[in-house]
Structure 1
Amino acid sequence: MGNGEPFKPEGTTGSPFPNNLPALTSVRFALALGVVLFHYQLQWPWDSMASTGILNRARLGVDAFFILSGFVLTHAYRQALEDRRLDYRRFLAARFARVYPAHVAVLAFVLVMVGAATLIGAEFDHGLYNPLGLLTTLLLVHAWLPETVVAEWNGPSWSLSAEWFAYLAFPAFAWVGLVLARRPWVLLALSGLVFLVLDLIYQAVFGDVVVHAELNMGVLRIIPEFLYGIGLYRLGQRLRPTRQWAIGAAWLSAITLLTLMHLKADDRIVVAAAGPLILSLGLLSKASADRALAHPWMLAGGEASYALYLVHMPILIGWKGVNSALTQRPSAYVLAWWEIACLLTLTLVAAFALHYLFEGPARTWIRRRADRLWPAPGSRAAMAPGSQPPDV
């Protein structure tokens, strides 16, 4: 490690990552906040794109989450996968516990908002909030097929639908990752090839690039990106960075990504550039150079990032609905700076409250019940704090 070489290839099994990867937890808050600010900038009168593409490209934080999911789930279940003893029931129970409590809570909140708006006669597009859309959203299948039913009960939940698909298909993803574990560059090339093919198909069928897929076959978006994350993890296993090189790689990858976003680079290039950042953040922990990203408040923000991602749109819609009703303005009015500040504060408070008062306890309760139903055989590979997937 101290021989001055930036990276030293490892043997068959490589050099393991430590259990805790705090940098990958902390970055989740930045990614979620980027998505929030992207939606806010669509509601204010200032043209941010005139000066920088960062806020516009921040929506691609969703893709970074997909890559991160593949990386972190491979890390969390690495021993079970290598020993061929992954319990699929326990795995799905853990993923259900991670995704569904906050999803159902926010969906119930939106249902209450829609009911209240209907009772007071507020104007809104009832077609966006239909019963069938509610059912497909609840079941998290609304991004699996071409959009035939409008399911706008909570816009960001399309990515949960894609994540849920990846969880169901995790054994297949993991098998590919194991077969090519010793050849991570082949695995990365495969993810790039799958991305290229799906992008060409999506353009031919829907006339848009695949990284713009959401409710309309958004599941296609996660397939190559989840595989990309697995490939990055397998590559990281075979690297042994020095402290200096790990820090340098993290800075270089972050600056490169932000520069591409600022210069309004093609969305697909930005998504590709998110991968090296995720890998370099993981390598920070491997080189014991992650202290700056391991502060408790940063980790707390990362843990609440999923709740932040889910609550921001319903709160934004509710805010505009109430204010338009009180001021007799159309709901499409633009937001003032003071409203942005209030909205952001309210959203952060709501996100932390949802996570610490409901999401976290509900997750623990579900997993304990699952442990009783399907006890772990023998010793269980610990899922380290800070190694939970983003689920967005």
Structure 2
Amino acid sequence: MSDRSGPQRVPFPDVLDPLTGVRFFLALGVVLFHFQLYWTLPAESAGLLNRARLGVDVFFILSGFILTHVYLQGDEAPHYRRFLAARFARIYPAHLFILLAMLGLVLIAPLFGVGLEPGRFNSPDFAGTLLLVQAWFPRETLALWNGPAWSLSAEWFAYLAFPAYAALALHLRARPWVLIALAMMLFVALDAFYRAQFGRVLPRAEDSLGILRIAPEFLYGIGLYYLGQRWTPSPRVAVMGAWGTTAALLGLMQIGADDRIIVAAAGPFILALALLAKAPGRTFLSHPVALFVGEASFALYLVHIPILMVWRNAAQAFAGWPGDYRMGVGELTALLVLTLAAAAAIHVFVEQPGRRWLRERMAPQRADPVEARRSVHSDQGEPF
């Protein structure tokens, strides 16, 4: 064992089920955050849901954690081209399918009397979204071809920068608190910059320089992973830790705590769930149903805004309802069921086969056994 590894490291098991199962609830929170903007409850009555949008930040931390688990176990970083091929295959099939569906909807909307705001769906934004660079630059408007895809743009940036993350991680993996401190300092610095330039805190960064939002959070996940290798709690302690950190995170969301405090609290939440798998402690997050919906959460996250847009435009075009009408419980329930069904179908019939097809062609079969093993486990818990 190398000196850098440190004598206290106790590896996590290969599969971290709780981090896969929880993805569904994080994605569902983002979905309900967007839905609650249009339902009959006043905004101030949905405290928890108003902060559920920060599930994206939890996803970013989770990405750093899981990719460290899969790719940074040894003394060297993964083969860069095979790494990018695996990540591209992970995110692009569902993204491309939904983006092309959006293009089709925009083209046929006038045929059904649906008026679109001039310039709202434009060619430059389509190209930027297609290439996943829409969140790389300052901009004054949102890239509306599929709003949630901005976070894929940020993730793709982190994937491209992974060699830099890997070099820092492997150098400091025996000092995880240093990695976490660096992540915190980077977050504070970027937050100060973003507030000075745009007047908003960093967890509000989306299409406009959203890459700044993931940069420290991805590093935070890396540091948490190496910290977690030092601990092996008993099943009882692991379960108590998971419930405690979950309650703390939800409580901070409900009382409307500062976004930056909630992001910081998301770290212990992720670590506690990972330690459940290490203890091991069995919870409902390891149930096959929870694992399936967790795996389908990526499609759920991507498809909910297009479905919401089509639903409300159809209501306006065919029922004559005003653009600002509020949805009732029955309509919301139907919309949610439709969205969940569409997400499951995209996951099974587009995302999974598309991922396999791309990996077979982009990742050569001559990859060594270590790389093959990484491919098997590279999607667990990692949301994008």
| Displacement after TM superposition at 1:42 (Å) | 0.4
Deviation sequence 1:120-172 (CA, Å, 0-9, x none)? 34222131100111000000000000015652100000000000000000111
In structure 2, give the amino acid aligned to 1:16: P
1:376 to 367, 371, 381: 367
Whole-angstrom distance in 2 between the partners of 1:381 and 1:244:
35
Whole-angstrom distance in 1 between the partners of 2:253 and 2:381:
27
Are 1:109 and 2:101 matched, yes or no?
yes
Are 1:54 and 2:86 matched, yes or no?
no
Are 1:68 and 2:62 matched, yes or no?
yes
2:336 to 325, 330, 344: 344
Are 1:232 and 2:211 matched, yes or no?
no
Moved more, 120-129 or 273-282: 120-129
Are 1:299 and 2:291 matched, yes or no?
yes
| Displacement after TM superposition at 1:12 (Å) | 3.0
The answer for the alignment partner of 2:302 in structure 1 is 310
Whole-angstrom distance in 2 between the partners of 1:381 and 1:15:
23
| Displacement after TM superposition at 1:21 (Å) | 0.2
In structure 2, give the amino acid aligned to 1:322: A
Q: Secondary structure at the match of 1:380?
A: helix
Whole-angstrom distance in 2 between the partners of 1:287 and 1:69:
22
Are 1:28 and 2:23 matched, yes or no?
yes
Q: Secondary structure at the match of 2:371?
A: coil
In structure 2, give the amino acid aligned to 1:20: V
Whole-angstrom distance in 2 between the partners of 1:264 and 1:135:
37
2:382 to 353, 376, 389: 389
The answer for the alignment partner of 1:357 in structure 2 is 349
RMSD after superposition: 1.6
1:16 to 11, 14, 24: 11
Q: TM-score scaled by structure 2?
A: 0.95
Contact 2:23 2:297 in 1 (8 A): yes
Matches within 5 A, 1:73-112: 73-79=67-73, 82-84=74-76, 86-112=78-104
Whole-angstrom distance in 1 between the partners of 2:142 and 2:219:
29
| Displacement after TM superposition at 1:333 (Å) | 1.8
Q: TM-score scaled by structure 1?
A: 0.93
Whole-angstrom distance in 2 between the partners of 1:175 and 1:39:
38
| Displacement after TM superposition at 1:381 (Å) | 5.9
The answer for the alignment partner of 1:3 in structure 2 is none
Deviation sequence 1:193-226 (CA, Å, 0-9, x none)? 0000000000001111010010111111000100
In structure 1, give the amino acid aligned to 2:57: D
Q: Secondary structure at the match of 1:162?
A: helix
1:193 to 172, 182, 185: 185
Whole-angstrom distance in 2 between the partners of 1:309 and 1:138:
17
- When the two structures are aligned, how many residues end up with a matched partner? 378
Moved more, 247-256 or 330-339: 330-339
Whole-angstrom distance in 1 between the partners of 2:231 and 2:142:
46
Contact 1:133 1:149 in 2 (8 A): no
Q: Secondary structure at the match of 2:373?
A: coil
Whole-angstrom distance in 1 between the partners of 2:235 and 2:350:
39
The answer for the alignment partner of 2:272 in structure 1 is 280
| Displacement after TM superposition at 1:368 (Å) | 1.3
Q: 1:216 to 1:277 in 2, by over 3 A?
A: same
Whole-angstrom distance in 2 between the partners of 1:287 and 1:269:
28
Contact 2:9 2:230 in 1 (8 A): yes
In structure 2, give the amino acid aligned to 1:222: I
Moved more, 302-311 or 174-183: 174-183
| Displacement after TM superposition at 1:183 (Å) | 0.8
Contact 1:73 1:388 in 2 (8 A): no
Whole-angstrom distance in 2 between the partners of 1:315 and 1:114:
13
Q: Secondary structure at the match of 1:330?
A: coil
Are 1:212 and 2:207 matched, yes or no?
no
Contact 1:22 1:290 in 2 (8 A): no
In structure 1, give the amino acid aligned to 2:32: L
Deviation sequence 1:342-380 (CA, Å, 0-9, x none)? 1100000000000001110110111111233x6313543
Whole-angstrom distance in 2 between the partners of 1:213 and 1:149:
12
2:36 to 24, 37, 41: 41
The answer for the alignment partner of 2:281 in structure 1 is 289
Deviation sequence 1:16-60 (CA, Å, 0-9, x none)? 00000000000000000000000010001212523x511100000
